Amino acid sequence: MQTNATTHRTLGFGCWAIGGEWQSADGRPLGWGKVDDEESVRALRRALDLGVTFFDTADVYGTGHSERLLGRALGRRRAEVTLATKWGNLFDERTRTLTGSDDTPEYARRALTASLARLGTDHIDLYQFHLSDADPVRAAELRDACEEFVREGLITAYGWSTDDPDRAAVFAAGEHCTAVQYRANVLQDAPEMHALCEKAGLTGVVRSPLAMGLLGGRKGGGRAPEAGDIRSRPPAWLPGFGDGTGADPAWLARVEALREVLTSDGRTPAQGALAWLWARGPHIVPIPGFRSVAQAEENAGALAGGPLDEERMAEVERILGR
């Protein structure tokens, strides 16, 4: 991770988008559309050169492809990074299809072994449970399994990717639970999750910091996503994209209303959105996605500006009526 202790900014990169196209069993897209693997590798290495050293992926992203690509890009520089991945989903790499889920401790071990092979490493720094609404009793069993993985040296720490603070608290009770991953951005804040992290001393790995691209797009955006993009047929948990023909006008209106404050001090909208998150607390590590060197450079460029100041944070709240 790249950190500045004075201004509380730490940035990671999320590797969902570079996994490429994959789908649900009923044919709905779950990726971000077509990708250029060589450009993805260049982007990952450029991010590393710029000091970004935390990379978050999942075994299911691209049904294994994101992990393989990340392992290839890091190569001999593996020791320079904090590597995070997730487990819990079942998939077919050949057809690039999500086929189900498995929350058993036995599968957690099999999934971990497979991820280590795809990533080309002997350990994972942060291993995260990926089934956000899993049963808390089962989660306690998985927490104990993760403690065993720590003892065996297969992982350094673990966490849960969930937006439910009560579920996250189950994992937080474990000695080597250091993080929880959850959705938060200037349009969709998560005060209960922030509070849990602060109380339990956890890192908040924040996914969707750019609201699935809404906060990073060009002025007047809302163009229809391509067919293989999850936003073209958005699932129920993905608001802001309506029927897939483009962003909801109400969401775009909020983005436009925020543009001036987010782009203060020469920031791009994406950099301003990351700056807003850093101002929400020192525990937050946003993980914006990327598919190109230019996007990697823009996201990493947010570090130079640091968090938004109190005046601009108050202006955001006024604009959104919160």
- The token duo for 173 is 């009770």
> What local confidence, expressed as pLDDT, does residue 243 receive?
78
In tens, the pLDDT along 193-209 reads: 999 999 999 999 999 99
Cβ proximity of 120 and 152 under 8 Å:
no
> What local confidence, expressed as pLDDT, does residue 73 receive?
97
Q: What is the mean pLDDT of residues 35-41?
A: 97
Cα torsion angle, 225, 227, 230, 231, sign: positive
> What local confidence, expressed as pLDDT, does residue 4 receive?
39
Q: Whole-model pTM? A: 0.95
Among 44-48, 61-65, 137-141, 214-218, name the one with the lowest average pLDDT.
Answer: 214-218
Burial pattern 150-169, b for ≥16 Cβ within 10 A else e, equals beeebbbbbbbbbbbbebbb
Q: Is 9 exposed, middle or buried (0-12, 13-18, 19+ CB in 10 A)?
A: buried
* Domain residue spans of the chain: 2-218+266-307
Better pLDDT: 43 or 239: 43
Instruction: Give which of 172, 222, 211 is closest to 193, Cα–Cα.
Output: 172
Percent pLDDT > 90 in the chain is 88
DSSP secondary structure of 302-316: HHHH-SPPHHHHHHH
Quick one: pLDDT band at residue 1, thresholds 50, 70, 90? very low
Instruction: Give which of 273, 261, 265 is closest to 315, Cα–Cα.
Output: 261
Spatial neighbors of 41 by CB under 8 A, at least 6 apart, are 69, 72, 73
Q: What is the mean pLDDT of residues 197-223?
A: 86
- Residue 164's φ and ψ, nearest 5 degrees, are -105, 110
> What local confidence, expressed as pLDDT, does residue 5 receive?
37
Rg (alpha carbons) of the chain, rounded to whole number: 19
Quick one: pLDDT band at residue 218, thresholds 50, 70, 90? low
DSSP secondary structure of 114-132: HHHHHHT-S-EEEEEE--T
Quick one: pLDDT band at residue 221, thresholds 50, 70, 90? low
Residue 222 region, left (φ>0) first, then alpha (ψ -120 to 50), else beta? left
Cβ proximity of 55 and 44 under 8 Å:
yes
In tens, the pLDDT along 163-195 reads: 999 999 999 999 999 999 999 999 999 999 999
Q: What is the mean pLDDT of residues 67-93?
A: 97
Distance CA(25)–CA(104), nearest Å, equals 21
Cα dihedral 242/60/178/194 (nearest 10): 0
> What local confidence, expressed as pLDDT, does residue 191 receive?
97
Instruction: Give the fold, CATH level 3, of 2-218+266-307.
Output: TIM Barrel (3.20.20)
> What local confidence, expressed as pLDDT, does residue 245 receive?
73
Distance CA(83)–CA(78), nearest Å, equals 8
Distance of CA 96 to the CA centre of its chain: 20
- The token duo for 184 is 């938060």
Question: Which residue bears the tokens 């991953």?
Answer: 181
